[in-house]
Chains A and B, each alone.
Chain A
Amino acid sequence: MSELPDLPSIFFYILVTGLPTTLILTVLALGFGFLLGMVLAIMRVYGERELAWIGSAYEKLMRGIPVLVLIFIFAYGIPEIFWYLDSLYRQVASIILALSLRSAAYQSQIFRGAILSVNPGQMLAARAIGMKQIQAFRHIVLPQAIRLAVPAWTNEYSVVIKDTSFAYSFGVIELTKAAYRVSVNFPILWAPTMLIAAILYFLVTYPVTRIFGKKQNKRLKELGIGGK
């Protein structure tokens, strides 16, 4: 093999080959997790006892299972779930499914907390002027709940993006795998390469958590949302 690459070129290699895939996995997992998580949160807050119980049971179950186990279940245990997909994409789909299911559990908790933090008087007033409960939820409670949820949600984002690194052992070339490949080619650079990978993960998580967390908290204070 030729001479060792310098650190900037390693950085760019990992960035270009690995980061887009990592981000796509993260966005999909968070997106599906959001949809399911919101449904579960609504079930738990507004649903009848059976619905609320289902939502709660789901969350407790999913929080107790490690992500890797979930991925194994879908990738190898029941790959037929994705019978309609080309076999090449089945593993990726299993990973996204596993990550989404897990994220939905945590997001349902986040949104449930956020919804409950919205002053109950808001719902009362909305209904008093004639809004149906769904309307009141959609126009009055939900906008405030989402604003309240942002800090916790950026936390979930940073967890999911790191969980995508599990995909490395399933043939998906994401950030960790890209770094792994470089290290295999140049084992003497193992430590610096992995450090660069770590820095890249940090660069895509910390700014988001900081900016959205801080900005949102400031805005919340301005609007006086939440609390009695």
Chain B
Amino acid sequence: MRKQAAIIGMILCLGGGLAIGWFIPSLFPTPTRVAVIDTIQSRGTFIVGTSADYPPFEDFYTNNDTYYGFDVDIADLIAAEMGVTVVWVDMDFDSLIGACTAGSIDMIAAAMTYNEVRAEKLAASTTYVTVAQAVIVKNSSSMAITALDNLTIAANQLIGVQAGTVMQADLEALGMVAGVNFTTYPRADALMLALDGGAIEAAYVDEPIYEAFKTTYEIKVIFSTDPEPLALWTRYSEPELLYVMNKVILEGYQDGTIQDLIITWFG
């Protein structure tokens, strides 16, 4: 008898708790929203998420523990506009969107291409740089293509891309299947290593990546696509921050700051 009572009691408490959790918040007046930009300024730090393995956009030098890259400089510009400093959160590329929507980071600066799928979840800034995609092979390779769908030929022509990128989506849009027609790598440097080692015959990457690695490996571009826009990302609920981001980008182009950065990092 006691046990039945205990079990019924537990169920009632659980149900009661759920009901309370469901209804009570609507009874309270909505708390005044604190814009993240105010939090940033009172805190003095701007939390930016990135995946620091993608030179020349973002990289981390272990010998002096600093972040370097095109995106790093752009983020510094935005932070300066707000009068704060950047605190970097260096994580997996795939996890960045989740972290931003969850509020753990304020902005994503990780050479993340604009596309509708991402735009559904986060707000994109205006394009801050455009890059093309290129198919690169080793200097010793005799491979030649005239269009991207030439890559669909035969599985023994192994292609590599970085996971979660637009390049992967492009190949899949052509009907290619990961693991069958192409292989994904979590990091650009692993991709380059695989190309150099012969595990793959060709890599399909952002063109600036080729620029960054062309001194390390003997590679050449055999094909490049139309340029695509990169954006910085934040939450839709933070229009003030988005405004500042866009302002810095536009003014940066107007007074030539961003062009200088492009030459510094990509030239």
Chains A, B in direct contact (C-beta < 8 Å): yes
Verify if B28 is at the interface (C-beta below 8 Å from A).
Answer: no
User: Across the interface, do A171 and B60 meet the contact criterion of CB distance under 8 Å?
Assistant: no
With a cutoff of 8 Å between Cβ atoms, the chain B residues found around residue A178 in the complex are 62
Shortest Cβ distance from A53 into B: residue: B7
Mark A173-186 against chain B: 1 for CB-CB distance below 8 A, else 0: 10001101111110
Distance A5 CA – B237 CA, assembled complex (angstroms): 45
Which one of B6, B52, B193 contacts A50 once the chains associate, using CB atoms below 8 Å? B6
Shortest Cβ distance from A85 into B: residue: B104
Distance A221 CA – B94 CA, assembled complex (angstroms): 52
Whether A50 contacts B10 in the complex (CB less than 8 A), given A87-B103, A88-B47, comes out as yes
With a cutoff of 8 Å between Cβ atoms, the chain A residues found around residue B106 in the complex are 87
Whether A187 contacts B104 in the complex (CB less than 8 A), given A75-B99, A182-B62, comes out as no
Distance A184 CA – B192 CA, assembled complex (angstroms): 11
User: Across the interface, do B99 and A91 meet the contact criterion of CB distance under 8 Å?
Assistant: yes
With a cutoff of 8 Å between Cβ atoms, the chain A residues found around residue B62 in the complex are 5, 13, 17, 178, 181-182, 185
Stretch among B85-93, B154-162, B244-252 lining the A interface: B85-93
Verify if A202 is at the interface (C-beta below 8 Å from B).
Answer: no
User: Across the interface, do B60 and A181 meet the contact criterion of CB distance under 8 Å?
Assistant: yes
Total residues of chain A contacting the partner, CB 8 A: 32
How many Å from the CB of B31 to the closest CB on chain A? 11
User: Across the interface, do B103 and A181 meet the contact criterion of CB distance under 8 Å?
Assistant: no
Distance A13 CA – B62 CA, assembled complex (angstroms): 8
With a cutoff of 8 Å between Cβ atoms, the chain A residues found around residue B208 in the complex are none
How many Å from the CB of B10 to the closest CB on chain A? 7
Verify if A190 is at the interface (C-beta below 8 Å from B).
Answer: yes
Secondary structure of the B side of the interface? mixed
Shortest Cβ distance from B188 into A: residue: A184
User: Across the interface, do B65 and A185 meet the contact criterion of CB distance under 8 Å?
Assistant: no
With a cutoff of 8 Å between Cβ atoms, the chain A residues found around residue B190 in the complex are 187, 190
Shortest Cβ distance from A186 into B: residue: B62
Distance A48 CA – B5 CA, assembled complex (angstroms): 13
How many Å from the CB of A48 to the closest CB on chain B? 8
Whether A76 contacts B91 in the complex (CB less than 8 A), given A88-B47, A184-B53, comes out as no
Shortest Cβ distance from B88 into A: residue: A171
Whether A185 contacts B59 in the complex (CB less than 8 A), given A170-B99, A190-B193, comes out as yes
How many Å from the CB of A81 to the closest CB on chain B? 11
With a cutoff of 8 Å between Cβ atoms, the chain A residues found around residue B216 in the complex are 187
Whether A88 contacts B87 in the complex (CB less than 8 A), given A50-B7, A79-B104, comes out as yes
Shortest Cβ distance from B96 into A: residue: A171
User: Across the interface, do B98 and A76 meet the contact criterion of CB distance under 8 Å?
Assistant: yes
Whether A91 contacts B104 in the complex (CB less than 8 A), given A50-B6, A169-B92, comes out as yes
With a cutoff of 8 Å between Cβ atoms, the chain B residues found around residue A184 in the complex are 52-53, 59-60, 187, 189
Verify if A138 is at the interface (C-beta below 8 Å from B).
Answer: no
User: Across the interface, do A171 and B52 meet the contact criterion of CB distance under 8 Å?
Assistant: no
Q: Which of B94, B98, B104, B193: most chain A CB closer than 10 A? A: B104
With a cutoff of 8 Å between Cβ atoms, the chain B residues found around residue A190 in the complex are 190, 193
Verify if A222 is at the interface (C-beta below 8 Å from B).
Answer: no
Whether A90 contacts B104 in the complex (CB less than 8 A), given A76-B98, A76-B99, comes out as yes
Which one of B52, B89, B92, B193 contacts A88 once the chains associate, using CB atoms below 8 Å? B89
Whether A173 contacts B90 in the complex (CB less than 8 A), given A181-B60, A182-B62, A184-B189, comes out as yes
Distance A72 CA – B45 CA, assembled complex (angstroms): 25
Distance A19 CA – B24 CA, assembled complex (angstroms): 45
Mark A76-97 against chain B: 1 for CB-CB distance below 8 A, else 0: 1001000000111011000000
Verify if A214 is at the interface (C-beta below 8 Å from B).
Answer: no
Q: Which of B7, B102, B187, B193: most chain A CB closer than 10 A? A: B102
User: Across the interface, do A170 and B91 meet the contact criterion of CB distance under 8 Å?
Assistant: yes
How many Å from the CB of A173 to the closest CB on chain B? 7
Shortest Cβ distance from A75 into B: residue: B102
Shortest Cβ distance from B92 into A: residue: A169
User: Across the interface, do A87 and B189 meet the contact criterion of CB distance under 8 Å?
Assistant: no
Mark A31-72 against chain B: 1 for CB-CB distance below 8 A, else 0: 000000000000000001110000000000000000000001
How many Å from the CB of B149 to the closest CB on chain A? 31
The contact sample of 28 A-B pairs, CB cut-off 8 A, is: A2-B63, A5-B63, A48-B6, A50-B3, A75-B99, A75-B102, A76-B95, A79-B104, A87-B104, A88-B47, A88-B89, A90-B104, A169-B91, A169-B92, A169-B94, A170-B91, A170-B92, A171-B99, A171-B104, A171-B105, A178-B62, A182-B62, A184-B52, A184-B189, A185-B60, A185-B61, A187-B192, A187-B193
